[in-house]
Every structure is written in structure tokens, then in C-alpha cells.
Amino acid sequence: MSIPSVATTIVIKNCPEKDTICEFDRPDSTFTIKQIPIPEHLPEGTCLVKTLLLSNDPHQRLSIQKNQEIGRSYAAPLVPGDIMTSLGIVEIVKSNSKKYEPGQIVIGLIRWADYAVLSDTADLHQPIKQPLEYPLEYYLSIFGITGLAAYFGLVDVGKVSKGSVVVVSAASGATGSMAVQIAKNILGAGKVIGISGSDSKCEFVMHELGADICFNYHDPNWETEFTQYIGTQFIDVFFDCVGGDILNFLLTKIKKGGRVAVCGSISGFNDKNSGKIGNWNEVITNTITLQGFLVFDYQDRFLEGATVLVEAVKAGKLKTDAAFHVKTCVGNDITEKIKQIPKIWKLLFTDYKPNGKLITRIV
């Protein structure tokens, strides 16, 4: 493998207050391209890696928010001049580390770049066993943080049990699609109701993932139809990835003592006003528990969760072909290809996002 003399990277130019600007060469562009020399001699405890796959996650938007309160962030915010980061999978090209050797495939916190020099402790997390038993994409979706977040959110936070009535928002998305299947096929929920952003996505949630029904929140009548469907029955657990208006409405449908596993709040990522909650009376009078969680809270139990998910795949309880969607960076040269990374990532915040986990392939 020939190693280039420079790495082509995506660097933060402006931290956004609201929407990210993923077009380049504008005064207000969120990102810019930078060529960074690759050192001939690596510092001790580092590896030169080639990027293979990037995970696209909503929390990356929070990491670049302008004027963050550092003490309220769960990770150190990125600032102008920093290379944009992502979970992902890399190949070790060159090593000055006792932990990793050239040729190993490793999952970790990587960079929006074709090549990067990464720390063997802070950045590189775990090698993936070779020869591969499963496609690499599984380790960023089914067995990755999306599958683990869905599992621990339902089991530990939602406390879903056999027969529970469970609602999942963003049910066609990365974590939501896993939550639907785990609730239905692993935990034995009695009824699983999805909420998604189009009729076609709702069809996917019902016919591919196995939800009992799915409601399109863009339909002006969806709340009325939901109320008619649920009747006098109430929800045991709401697995929420969205917040905002959907959470406000669902709080009126949760039983006394019911639970909300707050996995995400994507409705308020670009506009905080869109994520506000106005139904606190429902929480108080019906003694509803809302609990936010981070998947890395369960890092010491990842093996436990991954073992359950692997066994579920082997038993046919999780549909692997519905778990992820890969978009490949295209272009006439490496700069054009790398410029596609933020545009693919921004699909997360639109109605054009593909079903399942969105993964970017760098070639």
C-alpha cells in the first residue's frame, strides 16, 4: 500500500449556532478542507491509519455547537481548527504502538480524513477479530453503539418486560430501528408502535422491522389516529430519539408510573426552541419517569449487550439487511471524495435520510 505524503482532512471552520453549512468555500461554511503532512516517524504510542468506514451520529452536531457550556457537555467540544471526529473503522497502516500492528482493523474515535495519526489509547478502542465473521458495517450498527443504545435503553432504562406496550420515535433510524426489533423479538413486548417521518418509512418499520403499526408524524391527523388506535390502553415505555412535539404528545398517552427512555432529542439540535417540553403536568400527575442515558454509561457491559445481539442475529431475530445503509464518497480525486463526508452526515437531519444506520465508506 502506497502512503500519501499528506492527509486530506475536514476541519471545523465555524461552529454553528443553528443549521450547519456543509457547502465549502463560503464565509459561513461550517467545514473546510485542509491538507496535513503525514510524519515520516510516528510518535510513540500512535498509529497511522487509513479510514474505511465512518459512523454518522446526531451527537456529532452537539460537539460543534457554538458557545457550549463545557461543564455541561459529555465530551470536550470541538472548536475551529480541530479536525472533525467520528466513530468509525480504520486499517492500521503503520505503527509505533505495542498494541497494534499494520493490517489490523480497529474500531475507534477517528477523523473525517482519508488518513490520520491516532493515539493507541485515546482514539483506538478495539481491534476487530480477523478473519471477519460479519461484515464491518455490523460493528457500527447492529453490534455498535446504535444496537447497544437500543438494548440498554430498553432493558435498563425503559425496563421493558414481556407484554409491554412500547412506542419508538425515529423508528426507521439507526437506533430506533434496532429498538423496534429488540423490543418485539428479544424482549417480548406485547405491542410495538413506531413513529417515523414518511409513509414509506412507516411501511419499512411495519413490514421489515415488525412493528404492529407506525404513524407518520408529518400527517396532520397522526395524533388523532394514534389516539383512536391506542383507545383506553396506555403506553408502558416510550423510547424517544426525537423530543419536542412528539414527546409532548406522547406524555399524554403514557400510563401512571410509565417510563420514557430519552435516547436523543434531534428535534432541538439545530433549534433549541423546537426541542422544548410543555407537558410537565403529565409527568407530575401521572408519576412518569423520564431518564436520559448515554450508551457509554454501559461501557463495562458492552460485551454483555453485544453477546445478546450476536445471538439474536444467529437466531434470525434481528434483520441484518435492514440495519444499515452505506453511502460511498465519490469524486474525481481524494479532495472531492472527502468533501462528500459532511453532506452525507447532514442527511441525518433531513427527511431524506435512508433507513437504518447511515454509514459512510471512504475509498
Residue 268 has pLDDT above 60, yes or no: no
Q: Tell me: the pLDDT tens digits for 5-55? A: 999 999 999 999 889 999 999 999 999 999 999 999 999 999 999 999 999
CA distance 305 to 136: 18
Would you state the pLDDT for residue 201? 96
Q: CATH 3.40.50.720 occupies which residues in the chain? A: 145-297
Give pLDDT, residue 18.
86
- 3-class DSSP assignment, residue 93: strand
- CATH number listed for the domain at residues 6-141+323-361: 3.90.180.10
Q: What residues have CB less than 8 Å from 191, skipping those under 6 apart?
A: 165, 166, 212
**pTM for the whole structure:** 0.92
- Per-residue pLDDT, 262: 96
> Mean pLDDT across the stretch 313-322?
93
Packed helices 145-152 and 302-314: angle between N→C axes, nearest 10 degrees: 100
Share of the chain above pLDDT 90, in %: 86
- Residue 27 CB neighbour total at 10 angstroms: 7
Q: Sign of the C-alpha dihedral, residues 53, 90, 12, 18?
A: positive
Residues of the chain with CATH 3.90.180.10: 6-141+323-361
Given a contact cutoff of 8 angstroms between Cβ atoms, the answer to whether 209 and 319 are in contact is yes
pLDDT at 275: 62
Q: Residue 267: pLDDT band by 50, 70, 90 thresholds?
A: low
pLDDT digits (tens, 9 = 90+) for 175-221: 999 999 999 999 999 999 999 999 999 999 999 999 999 999 999 99
Q: Does domain 145-297 have CATH number 3.30.530.20?
A: no
* Helix residue ranges per DSSP H, 100-189: 145-152, 174-181
Nearest to 306 by CA among 120, 164, 182: 182
Longest dimension (CA), the chain: 69
Give the pLDDT confidence of 243-253 residue by residue, as tens digits: 999 999 999 99
